[in-house]
Amino acid sequence: MRLTVIGTGYVGTVHAACMADIGHEVLGIDIDAERIASLSAGRAPIHEAGLSELLARTVASGRLRFSTSLAAGALFATTHFVCVGTPQRSDSDAADLRFVDAVIDGLAPHLRHGSLVVGKSTVPVGTAERLARRLAGAATGAEVAWNPEFLREGSAVQDTMHPERLVVGVTSERADAVLREVYEPMLRAGVPYVSTDPATAELVKVAANSFLATKISFINAMSEVCEAAGADATVLARAIGADSRIGPLFLEPGLGFGGSCFPKDIRAFAARAEELGAGAAVVFLHEVDRINTRQRLRTVETSRRLLGGSVMARRIGVLGAAFKPGSDDVRDSPALAVAMALQEQGAFVRVHDPEALDNARAACPELAYALDIPKACEDADLVLHLTSWPEYRRIDPVALAAVVREPLLLDARTGLDEPSWRAAGWTVHALGRPMRRTPELASGGAS
């Protein structure tokens, strides 16, 4: 099939390359000419596992090309995936739909008769219907469908090629048939396919993100109670996660969620529910957001407490800048927010990250950065573990103790092996854990 993918950010670039790889002829479109030039040369604009190879391969095959022209896209294909960003508005919690609207308006005059416009961007429920009305004016007989993506940064290619489910919101059998043809290899492999109306499809995405964000904030709320009660939130998480109705994933206590999706999506969802008169149903999302923000404050507070009440002129080595491991993305990164807050309170903060240093430098030029872990921790009075990169679990605490001024660790991701750090002479504090560990009754670590 011939497809266009409009918007070559995270979702669009991955979707375009994956669609070309499964055999479609794809034209990727973006208004950013520099990005299009680099994509046309087969270069990935983002750090994402497997994406560079995939882009190089599909561009070389000729099945993936790029353009800055929506008019060219409208002529190239009759199926168009819209993957532009829907950031938070600057004046409210609602989603800013100006990029989506601009794509629709740019396509409308050029669309071939009977085209299908498929939204992938995360949008407020009702958007597909609104866009369909907008397109109706152009009298092209074009239809609008919604097909949310669920890809996670760091495993975006894998998630697109082997999704856990495909969700399409359509208003005709014809649109459903087009989308079944697009995803034919996935359907053949047995991926569950949920075909529904556009409003339900739009809601599936925000409901899934809201549920996951709630799960993270739930365990972080428990972690606050555990800390107050002298209990251990990591043991608690393991114990409740063993119940198959709860499940162990997204139950890691710590600094909480960030990134380009969860924070803005739960706010936009609450704002949209409010508009629909259903705000009361999702009031809890405000609390989910507040609990999440509080983890950053807790980390800053605990750092101050560990340093005797003030961080002024103290050296702090920060491990991690990306919003999560496996990504170089620092958008709404909890790690950088903590690093900045400590620096603003007078600490000398030096940040390490295996992948996100360039982006972190651009976002927070006022912080100091180090290319390796010992350099970030040199002469530190306190070391903070803020992004759970696997590299940090491999740190030799004995060697690191030799470079710091004070072997004092705050593990805000509860991912480091406390006993081995303690054995190497470190004083270790972890969010949601008592300073001295209680015995792990009836857990994997107990005997």
Closer residue to ligand UDX in complex, CB, 206/342: 206
Closer residue to ligand UDX in complex, CB, 18/108: 18
201 binds ligand UDX (CB under 6 A): no
The answer to whether 426 and 409 are in contact (CB under 8 A) is yes
Quote the least distance from Cβ 149 to ligand UDX, whole Å. 6
**Bridge-based pairing state of the strands 315-319 and 193-196:** unpaired
Quote the least distance from Cβ 151 to ligand UDX, whole Å. 5
392 binds ligand UDX (CB under 6 A): no
Closer residue to ligand UDX in complex, CB, 73/334: 334
252 binds ligand UDX (CB under 6 A): yes
Handedness of CA 310, 312, 315, 317 (dihedral sign): positive
Under rule CB under 6 A, how many of the chain's residues touch ligand UDX?
20
Closest among 248, 233, 239 to 432, alpha carbons compared: 233
Which amino acid would we find at residue 259?
G
Q: Which DSSP string corresponds to 298-335? A: HHHHHHHHHTTS--TT-EEEEE--SSSTT----TT-HH
The answer to whether 144 and 132 are in contact (CB under 8 A) is yes
251 binds ligand UDX (CB under 6 A): yes
Q: What does the block give as tokens for 420?
A: 């081995």
* Segment 35-43 long-range contacts (CB within 8 Å, at least 24 positions apart): 35/8, 36/8, 36/66, 36/67, 36/68, 39/8, 39/13, 39/66, 40/65, 40/66
Q: Which DSSP string corresponds to 350-394? A: EEE-SS-HHHHHHH-TTSEEESSHHHHHTT-SEEEE-S--HHHHT
324 binds ligand UDX (CB under 6 A): yes
* Rounded alpha-carbon distances, angstroms, from residue 106 to 95, 99, 130: 20, 10, 16
DSSP conformational letter for 36: H
What x-and-dash track marks residues 129-168 binding ligand UDX by CB under 6 A? --------------------xxxxx---------------
258 binds ligand UDX (CB under 6 A): yes
257 binds ligand UDX (CB under 6 A): yes
φ, ψ of residue 353 to 5 degrees: the values are -155, 140
Quote the least distance from Cβ 155 to ligand UDX, whole Å. 8
Closer residue to ligand UDX in complex, CB, 323/392: 323
254 binds ligand UDX (CB under 6 A): yes
99 binds ligand UDX (CB under 6 A): no
Tell me, yes or no, if 261 is annotated catalytic: yes
What is the enclosing helix (H) or strand (E) of 196? strand 193-196
Among 261, 367, 380, 383, binds ligand UDX (CB under 6 A): 261
Closer residue to ligand UDX in complex, CB, 320/397: 320
88 binds ligand UDX (CB under 6 A): no
Closest among 162, 150, 105, 148 to 130, alpha carbons compared: 105
- The separation between CA 254 and the C-alpha centre of its own chain, rounded to angstroms, equals 16
Quote the least distance from Cβ 10 to ligand UDX, whole Å. 8
Closer residue to ligand UDX in complex, CB, 348/392: 392
Which residue in the list 18, 226, 261, 377 is annotated as catalytic? 261
Closer residue to ligand UDX in complex, CB, 153/411: 153
Binding site for ligand UDX (CB under 6 A): 149-153, 209, 212, 216, 250-252, 254, 256-259, 261-262, 323-324
Positions annotated as catalytic residues are 261
